[in-house]
Chains A and B, each alone.
Chain A
Amino acid sequence: MDYSFKVFNREFIEILSSIIEAWEKEKIEEGYRDRKKSFETESGIPIKNVYTPLDISDQDYIQQLGMPGQYPFTRGIHYNMYRGRVWTMREFSGFGTPEDTNRRFKYLIEHGETGLSIAFDFPTLLGIDPDDPRAYGEVGVVGVSVPTLNDMEVIFNGINMGEVTTNMTINPPAPVMLSFYVATARSQGVPDEKIGGTTQNDQLKEFIAQKSWVFPPQPALKIGVDLIEWSIKNLPKWNPISISGYHIYEAGATAVEELALTLADGIEYVREMIRRGYKVDDFAHRLSFFFASGVQVFEHVAKFRAARRMWAKIMKEWFGATKKRSMWLRFHTQTSGVELTALEPYNNIIRVTLQALAAVLGGTQSLHTNAFDEALALPTEFSAKIALRTQQILAYESGIADTVDPLGGSYYIEWLTDRIEEEAWKIIYKIEEMGGMINAIEKGYPQSLITESAYRKQKSIEEMRKIVVGVNAFKGEILEEEKRIPLLKIDEEKVREQQIQRVRRVRSERDPAKWRSSLLELERAAMRGENIMPYVYNAAISRATLGEIMGTLREIYGEWSEPIYL
């Protein structure tokens, strides 16, 4: 179909223009009040008084919107979206010992959660064992400690891994965690075709935002793509990467910057796969994305719609994808954590509802709603349950899931979607001019962009240009029950003790010959520049620990230390 039509004809637009002109005059004559001098979105896009067909008179419905499930997928990747099935409700959880996390997973499943999501502790995120001196004070604190295959087996004890899908928020050690996961599923008797879920495995984003890097950018990209390649061959249901804007937004980027930098990262992964000789249609359908959703509902809805349209264009026009699925931008969303407040924390329930609303109106495939106490600590059972219930109320009570892209056609939303797309392309082209994302990272471009925006956002709160209820405005007496909300406490020392004992037991009980040769083979494969995944898997099943596998790779690839951008 190569139709090209404007929604509104020229005659109508001319008449409307004169109506608007007259309205402007009337407005001035009647005297005009404004709450503030100017209104703009958080990304700095100026917002008009009202939007009319005039603002989208250039938009071509068929070319730029189309129908849900049709290129360029602005209105959704599926033709019926949530009428067919609601999004996956996936609360990020994990803390303490693998036993603690196993209990929390079962609790969430019992309350209707439909997908699991593992939060790992810092030693695991950085690929070191709990008895490493650098792990002191951090074992099991922000997530669960998983230094061995045995730990993964405990986490999934009594959970059928053929029936749930699991997201693992892990980056440099993603090959190791995926190996632990697959080995555990296989030992449960789950066939590879039924192993489903996602490894975050977004190595580039680490340098831009989350900063849990280990290796320098070039080998990091190589490892990430090794995992993608291995998954495509072995695990047909696995999403090997979740190209992540979330951390970029949380580090201070605007919605536009988050969108642009995420797609620019995505472009780099696609290029690397093509360099390895793959055709884009062989792998693109398995790439997935991850975005933040903020309390500024319309800006985020527009961001999600623009994201789908832009990725479809990139895949089709830049990389020559021909299959529909290669052009789909499938994404998970997490509600923005930095927008939550430690003051009057119960207000966060309302903030999370608005953020989740934006994600759903934007057409997300899966959603994690934060708990209201997360500006203070990890969620308790109570706060995690409310977060999950928020999603269920949106899905089943509100009616927002009953038709596809309900905001589509809104003059404002369509205009804003176009504007956000335009602004995001500028950043993408700039990165292209710099020679791609790795070069941009090495020059510090995305890092400085974010640091600048973070400072600007904070200043706008200080200078009262941005109102945060209960923080810089409408402050009253803080009640005793808001001050002393029950928080989750982790006995780090106890968790560390247990995890050190377990990792030591694993080391003493394994077959030393098998273990040694598996690490040696990994080392040689890495030196030859081969795909490391099969060797990491073998090391994992020979019960090599996370720290040992990552240590072997560190020897070869080196470590990254960041130039500081302030």
Chain B
Amino acid sequence: MILYSEELIGSEESSLREYRKIPKIIVAKLGLDGHDRGAKVVARALRDAGFEVVYTGIRQTPEMIVNTALQEDADVIGISMLSGSHMTLVPMVLKLLKDNGAEDIKVVVGGTIPPDDAEKLKEMGVAEVFPPDTPLSYIVKRIKELVEERRK
């Protein structure tokens, strides 16, 4: 049996807490879709790993998400989508960040994103795309890296 070997959630919790200040992430459902299982599971995993998580709830517009991120001084925006409208709505988030001079806030997208679209989103400036089946431990680890990158 071949297993994945990433460390499990929460194991580096203490080192994260010591890091300058607690990293902060906005977890949001972008668009009209209400399927929030994935967003909530990821939000909880990040919280358990020592992040400060602001979960916005469902039916968020790009404006709402960017405003929250600016007000909360977030390191990362995590967008959860399985409605298929990511190619229209995610670029709007990126543009709004840019318009507000906040391109340094990292944007990650998770959910039902076909591989071709994932590549295009990354070209547009999305820091990471997590397709379905991504282990929570990997999501946590990768977002931690992005926070460190941003704070360098």
Q: Which of A122, A125, A134, A250 has the most CB of B within 10 A?
A: A122
For the complex formed, measure the closest distance between the CB of A342 and the CB atoms of chain B, giving whole angstroms.
4
Q: Which of A474, A475, A566 has the most CB of B within 10 A?
A: A566
Kindly state whether residue A277 has any CB partner on chain B within 8 Å. Answer: no
Quick one: CB contact mask for A374-396 with B, threshold 8 Å, 1 for yes?
01111000000000000000000
Give the docked Cα–Cα distance between A473 and B87 (Å). 32
Quick one: CB contact mask for B1-14 with A, threshold 8 Å, 1 for yes?
11110001100000
12 A-B pairs in the complex with CB atoms less than 8 angstroms apart: A138-B83, A141-B85, A211-B34, A342-B112, A376-B114, A377-B84, A377-B112, A455-B44, A473-B3, A484-B115, A492-B87, A566-B53
CB distance B37 to A464 under 8 Å? no
Interchain CB contact (< 8 A) of B114 among A141, A377, A455, A473: A377
Kindly state whether residue B58 has any CB partner on chain A within 8 Å. Answer: yes
CB distance B2 to A338 under 8 Å? no
Interchain CB contact (< 8 A) of B135 among A141, A341, A451, A472: A472
Give the docked Cα–Cα distance between A136 and B36 (Å). 20
For the complex formed, measure the closest distance between the CB of B138 and the CB atoms of chain A, giving whole angstroms.
10
CB distance B132 to A341 under 8 Å? yes
Kindly state whether residue A449 has any CB partner on chain B within 8 Å. Answer: no
B contacts with A, residue count (CB < 8 A): 40
Give the docked Cα–Cα distance between A212 and B34 (Å). 6
For the complex formed, measure the closest distance between the CB of B80 and the CB atoms of chain A, giving whole angstroms.
13
Given contacts A137-B85, A462-B8, contact A454 B133 (CB under 8 A): no
Chain B residues, CB < 8 A from A125: 32
Minimal Cβ-Cβ distance residue in B for A492? B88
Give the docked Cα–Cα distance between A566 and B31 (Å). 20
CB distance B85 to A562 under 8 Å? no
CB distance A475 to B2 under 8 Å? yes
Interchain CB contact (< 8 A) of A141 among B83, B115, B116: B83
Kindly state whether residue B40 has any CB partner on chain A within 8 Å. Answer: yes
CB distance B37 to A211 under 8 Å? no
Chain B interface, DSSP helix/strand/loop, else mixed = loop
- How many inter-chain residue pairs (CB < 8 Å) link A and B? 118
CB distance A141 to B84 under 8 Å? yes
Chain B residues, CB < 8 A from A483: 115
Kindly state whether residue A487 has any CB partner on chain B within 8 Å. Answer: yes
Minimal Cβ-Cβ distance residue in A for B55? A566
For the complex formed, measure the closest distance between the CB of B12 and the CB atoms of chain A, giving whole angstroms.
15
Residues of B within 8 A of A (CB): 1-4, 8-9, 31-37, 40-41, 43-45, 47, 53, 55, 57-58, 61, 83-85, 87-89, 112, 114-116, 131-133, 135-137
Kindly state whether residue A123 has any CB partner on chain B within 8 Å. Answer: yes
CB distance B114 to A487 under 8 Å? yes
Quick one: CB contact mask for A206-225 with B, threshold 8 Å, 1 for yes?
10001111000000000000
Quick one: CB contact mask for A130-156 with B, threshold 8 Å, 1 for yes?
000011111001100000000000000
CB distance A137 to B135 under 8 Å? no
For the complex formed, measure the closest distance between the CB of A115 and the CB atoms of chain B, giving whole angstroms.
25
CB distance A123 to B32 under 8 Å? yes
Kindly state whether residue A471 has any CB partner on chain B within 8 Å. Answer: yes
CB distance A458 to B58 under 8 Å? no
Chain B residues, CB < 8 A from A378: 84
Chain B residues, CB < 8 A from A468: 133
CB distance A142 to B40 under 8 Å? no
Kindly state whether residue A196 has any CB partner on chain B within 8 Å. Answer: no
Chain A residues, CB < 8 A from B131: 342
Give the docked Cα–Cα distance between A490 and B1 (Å). 39
CB distance B133 to A566 under 8 Å? no
CB distance B37 to A252 under 8 Å? yes
Chain B residues, CB < 8 A from A566: 40, 43-44, 47, 53, 55
Give the docked Cα–Cα distance between A459 and B9 (Å). 9
Interchain CB contact (< 8 A) of A476 among B2, B33, B135, B137: B2
CB distance B57 to A562 under 8 Å? yes
Chain A residues, CB < 8 A from B36: 211, 251
Q: A135-B32, A141-B85 are in contact. List 8 more A-B contacts (CB 8 A).
A: A122-B85, A137-B85, A211-B58, A212-B32, A338-B37, A462-B9, A464-B3, A474-B1
Give the docked Cα–Cα distance between A462 and B9 (Å). 9
Chain B residues, CB < 8 A from A213: 34
Give the docked Cα–Cα distance between A145 and B85 (Å). 14
Chain A residues, CB < 8 A from B84: 141-142, 377-378, 490
Quick one: CB contact mask for A189-231 with B, threshold 8 Å, 1 for yes?
0000000000000000010001111000000000000000000
For the complex formed, measure the closest distance between the CB of B87 and the CB atoms of chain A, giving whole angstroms.
8
For the complex formed, measure the closest distance between the CB of B135 and the CB atoms of chain A, giving whole angstroms.
6
Interchain CB contact (< 8 A) of B41 among A376, A454, A474: A454
Kindly state whether residue A159 has any CB partner on chain B within 8 Å. Answer: no
Chain B residues, CB < 8 A from A461: 135
For the complex formed, measure the closest distance between the CB of A563 and the CB atoms of chain B, giving whole angstroms.
9
Kindly state whether residue A22 has any CB partner on chain B within 8 Å. Answer: no
Give the docked Cα–Cα distance between A343 and B36 (Å). 21
CB distance B88 to A137 under 8 Å? yes
Chain B residues, CB < 8 A from A126: 32
